[in-house]
Amino acid sequence: MSSQFATVAVVARRQRRNIADTVLAVEQVLEEHGVDVVFEDATAGFLPASDAARRTLPRKALGEVSDLVVVVGGDGSLLGVSRDIALDGVPVVGVNRGGLGFLAAVSPDQLDTQIGGILTGEFSIEDHFLLSATVQREGTDVARAMALNDVVMHPGTMARMMEFALWVDDSYVYDQRSDGLIVASPTGSTAYALSAGGPIMHPSLDAIVIVPMFPHTLTSRPLVVRGDAEIKIKVLRTADTAAELSFDSQVNVPLDVGDEVVVSKYAHPLKLVYPTGHNFYEACRSKLDWASRLGGQSG
């Protein structure tokens, strides 16, 4: 048994048919290493019956009883779990059954070696800070949520512009017209912010990037600020549809003209577990095709 991870929780994305097989394989590896396994109740609900009754709990209670959380799915699944359990400080490891897999670094066909290795102490842990955003309307807080990747203000529909004002630490930056604004953590720099022309940031950086989406000026560029900066955005004007604030593209909050959004670093980081040998730059090479050369050759 791993002395560090005596109780391990398992959470899985449920929309994919092949997820159940991977979850069962994870369960087998965990049991072979003698750890106590607890399942998110919704995850256990789509698994075939076991010879022994599975222990289950709601997702938000898993961090209170477990030493490690295994998330089976893609990066999106891991984003959702991170917002629910970051406050508990429980390490999280992702088994990739999704797309790119920047965060979910364990391969389904290497569960024995990678999950097994983690249980026997062969791993590294990285702290990834989350962003916290509050929507203020006429001086009153009306919504608050967290994001691991990014907080995005957008006009609610495609090809619509909006106007907003930006402050950093009470210093006025600019008024701008664009399709929206992305505020991303270093973790989120390889997500939506990257497609909007933002820089790639190493996860260990204590910084936040602000990326305008298709700005109405050629001189507007991504802005990198301190990680402990407070960012305020005020909605000045929108199209004929309501603006929205999106958290990791999973939680959406409607915005009114005049609303102010205050974004800052969340106090409790997510602790991401990686198998020994994980390297951010190698992940960039493989996920972003940096190893490709013209003509289809790699080297």
Express each pLDDT in 225-280 by its tens digit: 999 999 999 999 987 677 999 999 999 999 999 999 999 999 999 999 999 999 99
For residue 292, being part of any structural domain is answered with no
194 and 215 belong to one structural domain: yes
Nearest alpha carbon to residue 122 among 7, 33, 186: 33
191 and 169 belong to one structural domain: yes
79 and 124 belong to one structural domain: yes
pLDDT-based confidence at residue 90 (cuts at 50, 70, 90): very high
125 and 139 belong to one structural domain: no
219 and 122 belong to one structural domain: no
pTM (two decimals) = 0.92
For residue 2, being part of any structural domain is answered with no
- The H or E element containing residue 231 is strand 231-237
For residue 212, being part of any structural domain is answered with yes
The helix/strand/coil state of 213 is strand
64 and 177 belong to one structural domain: no
Q: Which amino acid does the sequence have at 238? A: T
For residue 116, being part of any structural domain is answered with yes
Does the pLDDT at position 299 exceed 80? Answer: no
Beta bridge partners of 219: none
Tell me the CATH number at 276. 3.40.50.10330
| Residue 262 neighbours by CB distance under 10 Å | 17
Structure tokens at 21: 């097989």
For residue 297, being part of any structural domain is answered with no
Q: Which residue has the tokens 């209670």?
A: 61
Structure tokens at 165: 């004002």
- Its domain, for residue 260, covers 131-265
| Residue 28 neighbours by CB distance under 10 Å | 14
Work out how many domains the chain is built from and give that number: 2
Residues 145-196 pLDDT 10s? 999 999 999 987 666 789 999 999 999 999 999 999 999 999 999 999 999 9
Quick one: DSSP state of residue 278? -
124 and 211 belong to one structural domain: no
For residue 121, being part of any structural domain is answered with yes
122 and 145 belong to one structural domain: no
Residue 24: the pLDDT is 95
Average pLDDT in the 91-101 region? 87
112 and 157 belong to one structural domain: no
For residue 296, being part of any structural domain is answered with no
CA distance 221 to 216: 11
End-to-end CA distance of the chain: 41
75 is catalytic: yes
117 and 176 belong to one structural domain: no
255 and 152 belong to one structural domain: yes
Annotated catalytic residue within 75, 84, 150, 179: 75
